[in-house]
Structure 1
Amino acid sequence: MTGTGSVELTKGFGRAIAGSLLFALPLLMTMELWRLAHSVERYRLALLVLAAVLLVIGLSRTFGAGPGGVGPGGYLADAGVAILAATLAATVVLAALGVVDPLMDWQAAVSVVAIEALPAAVGASYARSQLGQGSRRPRISGYGHELFLMTAGAVVFAANIAPTEEVVLLAAEASTVTVAALAVLSLLLMHGFVYGVGFGGQERSTEGFLRSFLTLTVVGYAAALAISAYLLWTFGRFDGIGLTTAVKETVVLGLPGSIGAAAARLIL
């Protein structure tokens, strides 16, 4: 590897560290997640880690990180660097805060770092691919890409809220009318963010309001709800409750999830 290549690799790894902290620092300092890491069932934690890996591979395949991001070997390498940076950043911060001690209790440290890895890895992938000078920025097109980006955005926003008790409390106090109004508000905010308020990256609805609303906003909101339900299930929020309460919790978490989905379409 040439000297220039080594410098670029180092800079890319540094961007990945910074992106990890930018996306995951709120979760790294959330006490509920520290506790959940020790109580969540191991197979749910393993599925969460697998989901994080697949999501980062998808992001690397979509965006890459320059010349090394081209082709299967390149984007798999990009994903590996992003995951390594996310793991390192989470471990260092959690150790500095005294939450984990990797030397004295590595098993507990692995559990806490693993449950923190999802938004950190997404942040690392985004920073490596999109924030560097000369980063490869292909034009994203196609319905599948749109849905993937919305799903990734929903993951980041919902993951920061899902471990907290506020979701459970808000759902417990919400009436059916409140939940329905929250769903409508989420849809309106999603559509308005992308098409209506003049943010940079705002899209133009070329297929008419109804078609874009149904095929992108509604489907994107459904993806945000699915991500919200998955995260709540992973963290044990559905254990011992009825279907009605589970739906309420999902819709409550779907609000930040839907904002994340809309933001991803604008930013990415």
Structure 2
Amino acid sequence: MGVKSKRHKNIWVSEINDIIRGACGGFLFGIPLLYTMEVWWIGSLAKPPLLMFAIALTFIIVFLLNRTEGFRKRRHGNRPYEALTDTVEAIAIGVTCSAFILLLLQELTPETPLREVLGKITFESVPFTFGVALANQLLGDTRHGNAQGQKSYPTNKKNSHLYATFSDIGATVIGAIVIAFNIAPTDEIPMLAAAVPPAWLLAIMAASIVISYAIVFEAGFSDQQKRRQQQGIFQRPISETIASYLISLLAAAVMLWFFQKLTLSDPWTMWLNHTLLLGLPATIGGAAGRLAV
């Protein structure tokens, strides 16, 4: 009875890990388009036949991706029926996470017409779902791997910690720039800042931190074991996540200033809401950057 219960528990743990990995792959791949107003407009104006075509095309492409790899790690590849179920689940993850971010950014509200809701979610979920299906191809699953190949640091403990810390900071900044640099000069951030209530920014902060933590420490992507063995000054999962979030926010603020979306004469509240909104994609990029070091 105990063995059966343990096996059942392991199945659920594995399923949750797969869902987390798929969702994180979606965030890495789909977050830039979630900040693109043209996609919002296309979705809000799309007619039902176009929506059905988008869903069908997404299903076919994701099914083919799942036949080769998918967001689950199977020893013997995906059989057709497994690829079919994985495709349905990948689309469900994409739709759910896209809807969550659109709600978070107040692009969807209780007052939004149902047709517009369906259009925006459908079009935004397409790249997100591709990211779910590509999670293993792009980043791999090393949850059960070993620590071989771990980078060596200087033997001196103090120098080792400093080296690892600066390595993390550099990777966070680079990742944040890669993801958020194309978003910073656009009009999406001012538009979103005008629509998002101040209290709602707390939810955006929480989502940024949780997604960053999941990408680095829970999704089972490449080098995850090495991340837990990193010797940086802030190297505890929570403290590293918070420190990296603050670095990503600083990078977001600098990018907004660089593109003259913020100036030194602007009020601090404007700096705060613009930075927190760009901080979400910047933090996701920073998390991806840390996986690479």
TM-score of the superposed pair, with normalisation by structure 1: 0.46
TM-score of the superposed pair, with normalisation by structure 2: 0.42
Higher helix proportion: 1
